[in-house]
Structure 1
Amino acid sequence: MTQRIRTLIVDDEPLALRLMRAILEKIPEVEIVGECKNGREALKGVTELSPDLLFLDIQMPGISGLEVIKRIQGDVMPLVVFSTAYEQYALDAFDSNAVDYILKPIDSERAKRAVTRAIARLQIKESKYQTKPAVLGAIEQIAYAEQNLQMNNRRDDHHAAPELNTTSRIVVKDRDEIHLLDQKEIEWIDAAGDYMCLHIGGETHVKRTTLKELLAELDESKFKRVHRSTIVNLNFVKKVIPHSKGEFYLILGEHDKIKVSRNYKDVVKEFLGT
């Protein structure tokens, strides 16, 4: 018997959600493990259900599909297929970064093709971990295209942003803006290739750097590595939940549940004083 791919579907439109389920239920290789109506439910579903594949609507109110990806811990990342009615420049970004998508209105042939590609990618070692850098690359490309559209032929692209350096803040350049993030407000950080996702109060800031470089900037007494690609500010840990095989989950807030691998379990034990 062929192993079925565990799939979570997300769309804020009830009709679109029902259509997606009806189409995927006819694909023998698919096992639908849940459905979500918004980004918050999607984040919870990915953590609790550990799907192999996520069919994710991009344009959702509140937490968009792209923001959902930023906030999923990279080491528990499922493969992703976006459903979208985006503009062509966004589709070009997905294509160039090998990010899967299907255009709305969704049809069965497009969905089946996406599932076939996902099954093939699951055979590749660490394919899930490769998903997040690809999507972040697409997001960066989309943001750049949007910025160019808004500039309307302005010629100040090459005006260099000032280099800022502080000991207590992390500098993040976002398009033509510079954010100074206070370290004590950063809740957790997720590495994805050459990108770092810094999570603060429900928002995610993406910085192009490496985990090693960022660790050198952080206060080592507060920020601890709990997975190969995840750093947590221990001041924000509200609850520790033991998991199987020496692993733990850290509850940081209402929606952030961070997995601690057994290789870093001593960090949790030291934190708990056990």
Structure 2
Amino acid sequence: MIKIAICDDEPNIRHYLAALIQKQRVSHETEVAEYASLREYLSRGAGTDLLFLDIEMPQELDGFREAESEHTVQSLPRNGMELARRIRDTDAFLQPLIIFVTGYEKYVYDAFDVDAFQYLLKPVDEQRFSEVFARAVERILAKQSRQPDTRSLLIQSAHRNKTVPLDSIYYIESRNHKVILHLKEGLFSYYARIGELEDELTDQFFRIHKGYLINLSYVDSYSRTEVELTNGERLLISRYKYADFVKAYLRFVKGRLADE
């Protein structure tokens, strides 16, 4: 799977780039997400392999409570270039390839400073796009083939960036519009939707309840009403989830045994 993000405040540009991506011949499955603001990408763009990023994007504070506005102004990047610098400054296990898409040639040298993969000028030429995209996919697949087996959850937010190995997470809890990671070393919370994490972590995690997404690696025992993890915690399991949980857990254990 190659995860691609398009971050541009112009809907027509986002849709055009998404259409160009769909035209490309790629041997691996691709997933394309569109983001209309820097804030939106920071809150939902974790795990991106390839980022098409506009440079001159204004800060967008809509949706933040008035009490948070001053802090938001200070913490949000001012434009796409600043976002790229912030991404490069993180200790993330994986960082996306960045392709700038802009109408201004004056930023070309700044793009090299943030290790941008390429620089596409608007209006984007379809042939040029195909060439750049093919090279980007080749680079991503080569990088993925060199990755260690340990997978990680990349968290990018306006306030903090963090990389969390999946094997350090016992379970993920949803509470008050936040998710709480119950880790071996303690707790970590941030604003996110547990449903999106459920989709991202489907191979190793299972949602046993609307509020709990558990790591199948740490299931110690279970009944029709609860799951006990290896750290001793017991979590309620929805009766509507029980049958699917048993199937997922047995499939997971079978897969682990086959790998050994």
TM-score range, shorter chain: 0.3 to 0.5
TM-score with structure 2 setting the length = 0.46
- What is the TM-score normalised by the length of structure 1? 0.44
